[in-house]
Amino acid sequence: MESIQAIKQRFGIIGNDPKLNRSIEKAIQVAPTDISVLVTGESGVGKESIPKIIHQLSHRKHGKYIAVNCGAIPEGTIDSELFGHEKGAFTGATSTRSGYFEVADGGTIFLDEVGELPLTTQVRLLRVLENGEFIKVGSSKVQKTDVRIVAATNVNMFEAIKKEKFREDLYYRLSTVEINLPPLRDRKDDIHLLFRKFASDFALKYKMPTVKLTDDAVGLLLKYRWNGNIRQLRNVAEQVSVLEQNRTINGVTLQNYLPNTGSNLPAVVSSTKSESDFSSEREILYKVLFDMKSDLNDLKKLTMELMKTGTTSDVQKDNEHLIQKIYGDDKEEDFEASIEDLEVLSIPAHTSHTDQPEEISTENEDKYHFAEEIEEEETLSLHDKELELIKKSLERHSGKRKLAAAELGISERTLYRKIKQFDL
């Protein structure tokens, strides 16, 4: 069996990502069998190499290899393209024609973008997969073929099945083995490697010195979302190679070639939902702040009382409802402590402090003392709320900090600090 490295070299596959290696390994393993394979992954991740590897390493390698882009063939002609037609089957069918399934007998057919197949064609495909039988358009004669099928899709097949755009039985028949290729953003170690390879290829092609990236440009490359994956990276490398006079490319220059990097945000965050969640969370925060403000006013009132009477027991008695409101039942002890602290400050009793500057300063200290207490409470409650917001946001984005930070309107670094702080 050829090694993964040798296969990569033979098929021009760059990268050392473990997930990529695993996918190639899987392709090597299934190649000698006739098992149907479904290659999945976003657009531009390199799905097209997989069926080629499978065909080349199989006993069919001397047979035909036909790649069909199911999304590019008009619905009206696809059955005829795949299965052929009889003379006179439809207007313009002036002669009998063989379809790919007949031509590729003994070989491999790669059905790219298989999710785009019309439902009627899916029925025909299921039949050919199950027993090798097919019927030309406009014919009634059943024909036999021996074709291995490798299909690829960049759409979520379960979604397509749910929407009844794709037959579930066909999906299971096609995906006996599934080979998934990871998106480029999940192959961080390969990004710069691929860029260097493309830059060097384009330098050769256009007979110019190879472009080089500065560290900040490399940083940008790694941070970018690459929705178009390797295809997009290759395009960027080509544009930069052709257009930039200065062959050292910094971040500012590179940025011009990366659409939307400014807000390197998730493409679509189910906005309506998160917005409504967020506004209700904001409401909770407002309520907490409002309650705290009301507590603060009550505490001010208590303080005034204390300053006037100077005896804690009277204050306690006369303001039971306030104490109850601010501290609740279980906070009795805390309140005692606060009162004791106040006594330590020895507020002079029965003084009209307005005309005594020193006492005014005591009053300030006293207020300050309470403010501190309140501040502590405020910080605590806010922390709890913040913690809740962060937790929710992280949950919503399944732990993806970048998305959560964007939603919370804080930097990723700040979010990281908070996660550490709250031990999340």
Ligand X SMILES: Nc1ncnc2c1ncn2[C@@H]1O[C@H](COP(=O)(O)OP(=O)(O)O)[C@@H](O)[C@H]1O
- Where do contacts with ligand X occur on this chain (CB under 6 A)? 12-15, 41, 43-49, 230-231, 234
Q: Name the residue with the smallest CB distance to ligand X.
A: 46
Min separation Cβ 178 and ligand X, Å: 14
107 and 64 in contact (C-beta within 8 Å)? yes
CA gap 175, 169 in Å, rounded: 10
Q: Which is nearer to ligand X, 46 or 115 (CB)?
A: 46
Min separation Cβ 151 and ligand X, Å: 12
Min separation Cβ 20 and ligand X, Å: 7
Task: Give the 3-state secondary structure of residue 263.
Answer: coil
Q: What angle do CA 348, 349, 350 make, to 5 degrees?
A: 125
Q: Which is nearer to ligand X, 180 or 309 (CB)?
A: 180
Min separation Cβ 153 and ligand X, Å: 10
Min separation Cβ 275 and ligand X, Å: 33
Give which of 255, 187, 186 is closest to 220, Cα–Cα: 255
CA gap 95, 97 in Å, rounded: 6
Q: Which is nearer to ligand X, 136 or 234 (CB)?
A: 234
347 and 362 in contact (C-beta within 8 Å)? yes
Min separation Cβ 154 and ligand X, Å: 6
Q: Which is nearer to ligand X, 49 or 241 (CB)?
A: 49
Which pair of structure tokens corresponds to residue 44? 């531009």
Q: What angle do CA 35, 39, 40 make, to 5 degrees?
A: 145
SS3 content of the chain, % helix, strand, coil (to 5): 60, 10, 30
Burial of 53 (0-12, 13-18, 19+ CB in 10 A): buried
Q: Which is nearer to ligand X, 194 or 342 (CB)?
A: 194
Q: Which is nearer to ligand X, 13 or 147 (CB)?
A: 13
Q: Which is nearer to ligand X, 134 or 226 (CB)?
A: 226
Q: What angle do CA 307, 313, 316 make, to 5 degrees?
A: 80
Min separation Cβ 16 and ligand X, Å: 10
